[in-house]
């Protein structure tokens, strides 16, 4: 077999290597994570020797269809944009029936990790990606994190909350709060569907309307008790409650539909209801109630952790810490501002290794 070389130019890490098969079981999600960590500007060669520059690696698709959306590559003198599909071997493309599925027509790159006799059947760009360090790992560990790590995360979480409070002080507070609430109800791949559901409610449709019943919900990666169909009643009650508000409520509402969905309710309280009520208190100059809401927000806890967050930060944050809502919000803020490209070297959680000592 002819060995096709792949070249990866990066001074920090090298996830694209020569062919090498490991004894460790390979999962498609590991291929996906490794690819998403490839930095823009990376130069690689495909199996036919074509040069490819990665402009944007794309974003993971949590739903049915191609694994990666909105990727941009530069190859053969032109920019190409579209979707990317990942498989262990080329034969999986055909075994999964993608060659006959119209949802897979705009595939600009096929990523596999083990050489296969079906490689020659692929007509477009294809690379063999060898897995190294998981793409979503974090190089922080207990020895190098600052002692004030949790305080820093909580402060970052409070910054995130403050932006929401400010957003809800505007004259479009109801529109923003409704969209944030419905987007949260659809978390995990149904965000756009729930925003469409909101529009249907605003047009006077009830939850049992045939148009709403025909929505194509996504279930990939969602546990059955969290399926979107089971949240229609919650969404309906939530919408009706907001319609009764003439101004921002200065108290957090209690909704019967959430009696069996405590964690979901707590997420809505932390992300929407608490900042919304805090905005009302500021507008009314009720600073005592505002401070009480802030303390309530700091005490919020979830009954679970997010798997992706736990996997990435478990080297220095335990499960108990990752259930504290304010810390979790700080983690999201950290990811947004520092966990990309080379920004991690400025991570505010890292211990200051060097100090100036005056004589």
Task: Tell me the per-residue pLDDT of 123-146, one tens digit each, with 9 for 90 and over.
Answer: 889 999 876 544 456 777 777 888
pTM value > 0.85: no
Q: First CA to last CA across the chain, in angstroms?
A: 66
Q: State the Cα–Cα distance between residues 339 and 341, nearest whole angstrom.
A: 7
Yes or no: say if 81 and 72 are a contact pair by the CB < 8 Å rule. yes
Cα diameter, the chain:
78
pLDDT at 23 over 50: no
In the three-class reduction of DSSP (H, G, I as helix; E, B as strand; rest coil), residue 76 is classed as: coil
CA dihedral sign, ordered 293, 298, 303, 305:
positive
Binning pLDDT at 50, 70 and 90, where does residue 299 land? very high
Helix then strand then coil, in percent of the chain rounded to 5, is 45, 10, 45
pLDDT at 6 over 60: no
In the three-class reduction of DSSP (H, G, I as helix; E, B as strand; rest coil), residue 280 is classed as: helix
| pLDDT at 136 (0 to 100) | 52
**What is the signed CA dihedral for 160, 164, 167, 173, rounded to 10 degrees?**
170
Yes or no: say if 201 and 236 are a contact pair by the CB < 8 Å rule. yes
pLDDT at 119 over 70: yes
Structural domain boundaries in the chain: 28-128, 149-346
Residue in 182, 183, 179, 173 with CA at minimum distance from that of residue 282: 173
The least confident of 246-260, 277-291, 316-330 is 246-260
Residue in 102, 101, 132, 99 with CA at minimum distance from that of residue 110: 99
Q: 335 is written with which tokens?
A: 């990811």
| pLDDT at 7 (0 to 100) | 37
Binning pLDDT at 50, 70 and 90, where does residue 297 land? very high
Residue in 57, 137, 65, 133 with CA at minimum distance from that of residue 308: 137
């Amino acid at each position: 077999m002819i060995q096709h070389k792949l070249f990866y130019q990066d001074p920090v890490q090298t996830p694209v290597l020569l062919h090498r098969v490991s004894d460790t079981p390979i999962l498609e999600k590991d291929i996906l994570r490794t690819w998403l960590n490839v930095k823009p500007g990376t130069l690689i060669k495909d199996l036919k020797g074509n040069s490819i520059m990665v402009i944007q690696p794309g974003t993971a698709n949590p739903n049915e269809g191609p694994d990666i959306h909105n990727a941009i590559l530069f190859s053969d003198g032109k920019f190409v944009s579209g979707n990317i599909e990942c498989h262990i071997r080329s034969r999986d493309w055909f075994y999964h029936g993608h060659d006959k599925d119209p949802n897979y027509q705009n595939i600009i790159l096929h990523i596999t990790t083990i050489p296969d006799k079906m490689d020659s059947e692929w007509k477009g760009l294809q690379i063999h990606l060898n897995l190294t360090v998981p793409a979503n790992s974090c190089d922080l560990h207990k020895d190098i994190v600052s002692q004030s790590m949790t305080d820093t995360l909580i402060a970052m979480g409070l910054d995130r909350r403050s932006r929401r409070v400010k957003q809800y002080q505007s004259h479009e507070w109801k529109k923003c709060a409704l969209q944030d609430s419905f987007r949260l109800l659809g978390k995990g791949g149904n965000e756009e569907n729930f925003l469409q559901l909101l529009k249907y409610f605003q047009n006077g449709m009830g939850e049992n309307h045939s148009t709403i019943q025909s929505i194509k919900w996504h279930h990939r990666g969602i546990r059955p008790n969290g399926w979107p169909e089971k949240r229609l009643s919650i969404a309906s009650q939530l919408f009706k409650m907001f319609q009764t508000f003439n101004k921002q409520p200065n108290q957090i509402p209690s909704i019967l539909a959430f009696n069996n969905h405590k964690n979901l309710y707590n997420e809505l309280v932390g992300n929407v209801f608490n900042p919304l009520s805090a905005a009302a208190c500021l507008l009314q100059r009720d600073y005592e109630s505002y401070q009480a809401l802030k303390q309530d927000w700091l005490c919020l806890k979830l009954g679970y952790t997010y798997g992706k967050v736990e996997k990435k930060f478990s080297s220095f944050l335990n499960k108990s810490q990752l259930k504290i809502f304010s810390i979790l919000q700080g983690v999201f803020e950290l990811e947004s501002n520092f966990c990309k490209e080379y920004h991690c070297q400025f991570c505010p959680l890292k211990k200051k290794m060097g100090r100036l000592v005056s004589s």
